[in-house]
Structure 1
Amino acid sequence: METAVRRFFARYESCFNRGLAGEIEPGEVASLYASDFVAASPAGVMSGKNDDGLRQAMAQGYAHYRAIGTRAMRITHLALSPIDANHCLAHVGWSATYARADLPETVIAFEVHYLVQILQGEPKVFGWISGDEQALLKRHGVL
Structure 2
Amino acid sequence: MEARVRKFFERYESFFNRSLAGDIDMDEIASLYASDFIAASPAGVITGKNDDQLKQVMAQGYARYRAIGTKEMRIRNVRLSPIDEHHCVAHVAWTATYARQDRAVVAIDFDVHYLVQKLDGEPKVFGWVSGDEQALLRKHGII
CA–CA separation in structure 1 for the residues paired with 2:28 and 2:119? 18
Shift of 1:24: 2.2
Gapped regions of structure 1 (runs ≥ 5): none
Gapped regions of structure 2 (runs ≥ 5): none
Look up the match of 1:122.
Answer: 122
Deviations 1:73-97 (A, max 9, x none): 0000100000000000000000000
CA–CA separation in structure 2 for the residues paired with 1:58 and 1:27? 11
Aligned length: 143
Deviations 1:68-127 (A, max 9, x none): 000000000100000000000000000000010112100000000000000123100000
TM-score by structure 2 length?
Answer: 0.99
- Say whether 1:37 aligns with 2:40: no
Amino acid at match of 1:71: K
Amino acid at match of 1:85: E
Q: Matched residue of 1:34: which SS? A: strand
CA–CA separation in structure 1 for the residues paired with 2:58 and 2:100? 22
RMSD: 0.6
TM-score by structure 1 length?
Answer: 0.99
Deviations 1:27-79 (A, max 9, x none): 11011000000000000000000000000011100000000000000000100
Look up the match of 1:25.
Answer: 25
Look up the match of 2:99.
Answer: 99
Structure 1 window deviating more from structure 2 (129-138 vs 116-125): it is: 116-125
Kindly report structure 1 stretches of 4+ aligned residues shifted beyond 3 Å: none
CA–CA separation in structure 2 for the residues paired with 1:80 and 1:121? 19
CA–CA separation in structure 2 for the residues paired with 1:103 and 1:18? 23
Look up the match of 2:66.
Answer: 66
Amino acid at match of 2:124: K
More strand by share: 1
